[in-house]
Each structure stands twice: as C-alpha cells, then as structure tokens.
Structure 1
Amino acid sequence: MVGFIENMESYLSVASCIVTKAGAITLTEAIAMQVPVVVYRPIPGQEQGNAEYWEGRHALRTAGDAASAKSSVERLISERSDMEAGAFGDASQAIVSEVLNAHASYRASRRTDTMIQGRRIAHEIH
C-alpha cells in the first residue's frame, strides 16, 4: 500500500492494474493512462457515484468483496492485450467531452436564471 504521492504517473506507467477507492482524481489519472482499475467497496455517496459512472462506461470494475476483487484483477490482467488495443477508446477525449458538456449545461442554466430574474424585476417596476 502506498500513501499520498506526487508522482502517480510513475506508478501508473508500470502498473498492470490498480485496486483503489473511487476517488475522482485517481480514477481520472488511471483511466487517462489506460490502466485497468478495480474499485474495492466504494463508499456510498460520491465514491459510489464515481464508480457507477465509470463502470457504466466500461472503464473499470467494482468489487464488493476480496474474492470478486481477486477475480476482477486476474481477468483484467489476462485481458490486458485487449485493453491496450483500445477497449477504453480515447479516455482523455471522453473526460474533456464530459467536462465541456457539464460546463455548457451550467452556463445555459445560469442564462435562464438571469433571464427569469430580469423579467421579475421588470414586472415589479411596472
């Protein structure tokens, strides 16, 4: 087990697979580097949401117990050649697209809120 480190890419560049918690930064780094990920017993809430999001995009596997974690790791390592051939697709592009879509949605909702507020003020003046 490794505690906090600042050179995560060094570890990921030589990893066959990682077993980790579902922290957003760790998952993003691993997925961007196309390292297979097994999330072990994600905590309900944000971690569970992170794991479900990426598992739904076939970018990781979730394990609820040690036996399923072990079998997931064995399966991922044996399928590594398939993943290297592009099973994840362009992870970096997928992450950028998700961020831009979320930002565009946020900006659109802010414009709508501003327009509604402007109408309320105009109505109150008259």
Structure 2
Amino acid sequence: MLETLYAKGEGSGPESLVRDVYYNTGLAIYATGFEAARIAIEKHGWPLNAERMKEGYESIENFDGNGVMSPITVTAKDHGGGGKTRVEQWDGSTWVPLTDWSADYTDVVWEVIKESSSKFTVE
C-alpha cells in the first residue's frame, strides 16, 4: 500500500492509519471478499449473486491476502477460515510477530458459536 499507492500520492485517507490494526483488519476482510468474487466470476462469469458468492467463498484455499493475514481455507462447515491468530508487537515502526499463526481453544470457540447460533431465529 505504501509503495504502490501512497508513495505515488494515490493513497486514500491518512497515511498514518495504514499501519493501524483496524485498517489491516479491514484490508483482510475486503481482500477475502474480493477473492471470493474473483473465484465466482472466474467460474461462472457475470452477474454475481448470493449463491455464486457463497460458492466463491467456499472455494478459498490458503488465501493470505499477500501476507496481510493468516492463510485461510473456507469451507461449508467453517466460514471463519480456520480462526488463526498470532501475537504481534509494535516496535515503533512496524508490527513484529511474536508467535506463529495458531488456532487455539477451537473447542471452546465452537461451543460458544453453537450455543449462540441455537438461539437465533428468523421471524
């Protein structure tokens, strides 16, 4: 982002926010959506619809948004992509990973998801 856009004066928004965790989270979320759309269009062409986007998402394998996030694989059973995270620390100029990507306590996470989901109803 910095080299490709901001260095050429083509960045959008304050450059100081590009390193912000919320900015990077947004990049990861949108990159995944764009990858799903790319896959769907590649498979079916236009127009995109909900069914094709769902299939596009569920076809994502080991996608990391060029290193912006942990590699994810989305399936019909796991739309979260594996739930990996890591601990990082800001050193004053960049984020430095302190751990590898991991998905810990998945049994606890899935228990909470299932309990919460069981209470959801559409009226």
Whether TM exceeds 0.5 here: the answer is: no
TM-score bucket (shorter structure): under 0.3
Q: Which TM-score applies when normalising by structure 2?
A: 0.24
Q: Which has the higher helix share?
A: 1
Higher relative contact order (CA 8 A, sep 6+): 1
Q: Which TM-score applies when normalising by structure 1?
A: 0.24
Larger Rg: 1
